[in-house]
Amino acid sequence: MSAPVTTLIALLHGPDQRGLVARASGWIFERGGNILHADQHRDEVTGVFFQRLEWIPAAPKTATGKPRVKDVDAEVSEFLAFARDELKMQATVTESTHRPRVALFVSKADHCFHDIILRWRAGEFPCDIVGVISNHEQLASAAEAYGLKFFHLPILPGKKITGESDQLALLKKLKVELVVLARYMQVLSDEFLRQFGKPIINIHHSFLPAFAGGRPYHQAHERGVKLIGATAHYATAVLDDGPIIQQDVARVTHRHSIDDLVRKGKDLEKSVLAQALRWHLENRILVYGNKTVVFD
């Protein structure tokens, strides 16, 4: 089997101006690259332009005309400088073959935990799950059965700072680049978020901003709603208020019990979290303020 082709994926945003699409694609064309995907969006309220570009860099040639190994790092640096200095846009560039190191945070609920791992083992997620971290021990045997390292780091009453310090030390040791909260039932402190400093995706069992916090299905049942939902978002210092990545809903009626709502909700949680994780790993999400632009 041949090695996968390395593509470069750029996410850009900045003030809209004439010729941005032509100039960016022209830069790639002039260097012999081949664009595989190009998409853009303009926020009509703010006048901000967003773009996603994916291309195959051309292999440069030696003096004799023979292809040599492409210096991908150099092309990344050159494009970032071009975006900053000439397009006046903020940009990130990622190699498609990079597999982020991911840690799953779990508590007792196991439906999102199993769903993510099974999809990962099936090849749906281009990442490496390097550890399962939990404040409880219930999922230890399941994680080990999947061949994953399980770390029990309890958050004891009055010792949250100590518990989070242990988590941060472990994340640093494992070189984690992304944390997925697969129904992790602890609120991460502002200090934890600041020190980790990398993306954290959370799944909330509610169609945010409705019914934030705990026991949303009970709240929804008491309110007599006709729709329940699930929301995947990036974690921020404000509880359940980070940039939303994906949401979905299911219809319910007065005939549905709380157990019915929980069962339907779990199905939503699994699919919504999986889609959000897939988009993140494929570099399709551009966070801007407290919103996201998803190039799906």
Q: Which helix (H) or strand (E) holds 105?
A: strand 101-106
Count of beta carbons in the 10 Å neighbourhood of residue 13: 22
Interatomic CA distance for residues 24 and 109, integer angstroms:
46
Task: List the catalytic residues.
Answer: 240
Mark residue 132 as left, alpha or beta (left: phi above 0; alpha: psi -120 to 50; beta: remaining): beta
Neighbours of 137 (CB within 10 A): 11
Q: What is residue 128's three-state secondary structure?
A: strand
Sort strands 128-134 and 101-106 into parallel, antiparallel or unpaired. Answer: parallel
Task: List the end-to-end C-alpha distance of the chain, in Å, as a whole number.
Answer: 28
